Amino acid sequence: MSDSADKELLQRITKLLSAGLKTVTEPIPEDNVQFDAIVAELREVDASDLEKKLVISGFLDHPVEDMRCLECMYYLNHRKWCNLPEINLPAEENWWCRLWRI
Ligand code: SF4
C-alpha cells in the first residue's frame, strides 16, 4: 500500500473514532484462548469492512491506562501501522485496542 493510501485510511479511521464509533473494548483477553477467539472473529470479517474490524478489536483513539499502540508488539512505529495480520490497519501511537500485547 502506498504512503498516501495509508494516510487516507488513517484519516478514515480517525474520523470514525472521533465521530464516536462504539467499539467492543471488553472483555480484554486474559489468556491466549480468549485472545485467539477475538482473532478468529476478526478473520471472518471481510478485509474491506473497516468498521467491523475496528469494532471487534475494540479500537480507541486514546491510551488505556499506560497501554497504547506504541508499546504493543504488533506496532510498526516507522509506518504507524498495526501489523497484527487480522487487523493490518494504520494506527496512531497513542491509540489502543483490546488485543494490545507486549
Ligand atoms: S494490536 Fe491493538 S494495541 Fe496493538 S498495535 Fe494493533 S491496534 Fe494497537
- pLDDT tens sequence across 13-71: 999 999 999 999 999 999 999 999 999 999 999 988 999 999 999 999 999 999 999 99
β-strand partners of 64? 67
- How many helices (H) and strands (E) the chain has is answered by 3, 3
Whether 42 is in the pocket of ligand 1, judged by its Cβ within 6 Å, is: no
pTM for this model (two decimals): 0.94
Q: What does the pLDDT read at residue 88?
A: 95
For the chain, what are the domain ranges? 3-90
| CB-based contact 80:72 (threshold 8 Å) | no
Whether 38 is in the pocket of ligand 1, judged by its Cβ within 6 Å, is: no
